[in-house]
Amino acid sequence: MTEVQYDEKTLKYLNMLSRIYPTTQSVSTEIINLRAILNLPKGTEHYVSDIHGEYEGFRHILRNASGSVRRKIDQALSDYVSTPDRDALAALVYYPELKLRELRHQGLLTREWYTITLRQLVKVCKITISKYTRSKVRKMLPKDFEYIISELMTTGSKDFNKEEYFGQIIQSIIDIDAADKFIIALCHLIQDTVIDKLHVVGDIYDRGDSPHLVMDELEKQRYVDIQWGNHDILWMGAAAGNLCCIANAVRICLRYNNYDFLEDGYGINMRPLSLFALETYGSDPCAQFQPKLSADDGTDPHSVAVIARMHKAISIIQFKLEGQAVMAHPEYEMEDRLLLDKLDLEKGTVTVGGEVFPLLDVNFPTIDPNDPYALTIGEQRVIEGLHTSFLNCEKLQRHIDFLYKKGSMYRYYNNVLLFHGCIPMEPEGFFSELDVYGVHCRGRSLFDRCEELVRQGRYSKDKAKRERGADFMWYLWCGSKSPLFGKDKMATFERYFVEDKKLHKEHSDPYFTLAYNAEACDRVMEEFGITDPEAVIVNGHIPVKIRKGETPIKVPRKLVIIDGGMSKAYQSVTGIAGYTLVSNSHEMYLSEHEPFATAEETVRNNRDMDSRIIPVLPYAKRVTIADTNDGREIAAKIDDLMLLLEAYRVGVIKQDKG
């Protein structure tokens, strides 16, 4: 055997490792354990995108694991439990507290029901945890029932030697009135173990009314990573204090009638904007600024009128601030967004691209034709107040820190390349170059540079760098070469003030056509250093219009778009209510969801969200942990432990004999 040479750095590392594994026995045991883990099936991964504040639907997708929970119930019980009873059990697993309350009200919580239900839940739970080691399962168990659940998971009613033992545990749980709590614990354990990893491919914020609740739910997940979307970056910029981002975030909330989210969800003080809007636009009908209302929206007409005035007020503030930003950053090349100085208030027109168009709204009391981008004193007070509210909102800042901790511009994990929007391309097919503060970058280097600046915009101790990074977050929100935006312009001004639809058109980046072929996908993979022929690109951002015959699988086995319109605001466009991409140890498939009603209806009628399965990629062999990123880390750890074991054996490092 060749004698191993230990340099100083290696010895230092092995000495640190020996504190965790102080003997050859402890090292050997861990090597055996890790090698065994490598042969377990890969856990099930779920990919979602473009949640857009749609909390109820998103929460249900997590609870039913995109239909996976019901499939586990069928796998465990279909031989002897009827379909209606399995429907009822599924509703219990999704919403145990609500279902138990309903059954109690109906007088159905009998001893027989508890006995049958507990036994059924144990059977289902055994299947959902079967991919995991005992130590991993133990970490997921609720502390109050850790021992009992562990016993039930390792003992069965068909175990001749322990049949009475198993039955007595069930009966004792019922006898001491712990059955409800125990059922709730088992239901949550099933939910938690069906999904091993959750990947969010951007756009948690805007349009829906509860992004703060979505963020609360994500904070509870055992494993989650996030690829930032343009709507996320907008709120990250707002939380960093960028005024353009703040104005945009508030405007979008008012446009979608999410005033309550701002005030109640994040405690943003909207009173100064409200007072200013009523004072400035009190007699203005603000016809172009009426909030979008759902069919069942109960907002009273007076509140709608106030929101419309606030909407117009913050929009004008936004256009002024963005004009200042464009002039301060000529490198952004966004001069076409300078439109306030193109207004002719006497004629009621605006000049866009050298062509004159009539305005739909000519009431601009705060715009000085001689200095159109200057804020009035009132507007300055409004934006300063909002700036203070955003910076001092503890919950918002906590959520944004979570986005930074779990998020990135892109991620390559388990043979899937994840990014929200696009890699900006030229019509000829090569990657677009962007001068980012003197650094010319394209493709992967553009993503890396963007992430550097996004993190700088929040965490740099240098004020100038921090402000520059926050400014760039606004560019990522709406800039023409932003990989998160992917359009030539954001035509907000034109949509509000010009009737001609040709000005409303926002042309998508060439990526969204040129990348939809196998050769282009291979070039993208090459750009990111990916060589595995089974690798898949997953994007969100662009809603897949099922009603128009579009498909989420843009390139078979290579590129999938998973924005299916989870937000109600998009469902009329897409025709569905979102996708989940699921990757288990056997295959990758899409789950196409129909609109979700309510948790109460699910519980009352035992009716789940309807989902259709779309195959994406069957795996040639069952994927084990050895084939994953986690497996590669485990293999590296085994190599280190083998090195430590050898160091013990040759005496280079002394064992702790105790």
pLDDT tens-digit series, residues 624-646: 999 999 999 999 999 999 999 99
Contacts of 207 (CB under 8 A, 6+ apart): 52, 53, 231, 252, 256, 567, 569, 570
Residue 25 belongs to what domain range?
8-40+627-650
Say whether both 129 and 274 belong to one domain.
no
Per-residue pLDDT for 375 more than 50? yes
Q: What is the DSSP letter of 428?
A: T
* 228 within domain boundaries: no
Is the per-residue pLDDT at 341 higher than 70?
Answer: yes
Let me know whether 253 and 302 are in one domain: yes
229 lies in some domain:
no
Residue 510: inside a domain: no
Whether residue 85 sits in one domain with residue 19: no
Task: State the helix-helix crossing angle for 377-392 and 243-255, rounded to 10 degrees.
Answer: 90
Same domain, 324 and 182: no
| Per-residue tokens: 71 | 């499939």
How many whole angstroms separate alpha carbon 390 and alpha carbon 219? 20
Rg over CA atoms, the chain? 28
Burial track 318-333 (b if 16+ CB lie within 10 A, e otherwise): bbbbbbebbeebeebe
631/370 Cα distance (integer angstroms): 65
Q: Is the pLDDT confidence value at 149 over 90?
A: no
What token pair was written down for 471? Answer: 């400014």
Check whether 28 has a pLDDT greater than 70. yes
What's the CA angle centered on 536, arms 531 and 538, to 5 degrees? 135
Over range 117-124, report the average pLDDT.
95
Closest residue by Cα to residue 229 from 560, 580, 484, 564: 484
Helix crossing, 230-239 with 377-392: angle to 10°?
A: 100
**What's the average model confidence in pLDDT over 227-235?**
98
Residue 422 confidence (pLDDT) above 50: yes
With a CB cutoff of 8 Å and minimum separation 6, the contacts of 607 are 87, 91, 597, 601
The verdict on 371 and 386 lying in the same domain is yes
Q: What is the pLDDT of residue 159?
A: 62
Instruction: Determine, yes or no, domain membership for 315.
Output: yes
Q: How confident is the model at residue 452 (pLDDT cuts 50, 70, 90)?
A: very high
Rounded to 5°, the CA angle 381-384-389 comes to 125
Task: Indicate the helix (H) or strand (E) that contains 313.
Answer: helix 301-328
pLDDT number for residue 157: 53
Q: What is the pTM of this model?
A: 0.94
Residue 412 has pLDDT above 50, yes or no: yes
On whether both 362 and 255 belong to a single domain, the answer is: yes
pLDDT higher than 50, residue 1: no
One domain, residues 639 and 607: no
First CA to last CA across the chain, in angstroms? 30
CB 539 within 8 A of CB 559: yes
Q: In the prediction, which pLDDT does 154 show?
A: 77
The confidence score (pLDDT) of residue 575 equals 87
Q: DSSP string of 191-227?
A: HHHH-SEEEE-S--SSSSS-HHHHHHHHHH-SSEEEE
From 176, 137, 142, select the one nearest 154 (Cα to Cα).
Answer: 137
In a domain, 646, yes or no: yes
Q: Is residue 19 part of a domain?
A: yes
Q: Quote the CA–CA distance of 49 and 27 in Å, as a whole number.
A: 42
The CA-atom distances, in angstroms, between 411 and each of 202, 228, 292, 441, 584 are: 12, 10, 35, 18, 19
Q: What is the pLDDT of residues 129-143, one digit of tens each?
A: 988 888 888 888 888
Same domain? For 147 and 196 the reply is: yes
With a CB cutoff of 8 Å and minimum separation 6, the contacts of 416 are: 47, 199, 535, 536, 537, 538, 583
Query: What is the distance between the alpha carbons of residues 28 and 206, in angstroms, rounded to a whole number?
Result: 52
How high is the mean pLDDT of the chain? Answer: 94
* 192 and 55 within one domain: yes
Residue of higher predicted confidence among 656 and 360? 360
Domain count, the chain: 3
Q: Measure the CA–CA gap between 96 and 103, rounded to whole angstroms.
A: 10
Question: What percentage of the chain carries pLDDT values higher than 90?
Answer: 86
Residue 311 shares a structural domain with residue 241: yes
- Cα–Cα dist 257/292, whole Å: 6
| Helix H or strand E encompassing 416 | strand 416-419
Indicate whether 614 and 641 sit together in one domain.
no
284 and 326 in a single domain? The answer is: yes
Q: How far apart are CA 327 and CA 335, in angstroms?
A: 8
Q: How far is CA 653 from the centre of its chain?
A: 46
Are 457 and 472 in contact, with CB atoms under 8 Å apart?
yes
Task: Tell me the average pLDDT across 167-175.
Answer: 92
Q: What is the mean pLDDT of residues 271-300?
A: 92
Q: Are 432 and 442 contacting, i.e. CB atoms less than 8 angstroms apart?
A: yes
Round to whole Å and give the CA distance between 599 and 580: 19
Examine residue 65 and state whether it is found in any structural domain, yes or no.
yes
234 and 477 Cβ atoms separated by less than 8 Å? yes
Residues linked to residue 538 through DSSP beta bridges, in sequence order: 418, 560
Flag whether 174 is in a domain: yes
User: Is 49 within 8 Å of 542 (Cβ atoms)?
Assistant: no
Do the Cβ atoms of 6 and 629 come closer than 8 Å? no
Whether pLDDT at 589 is above 80? yes
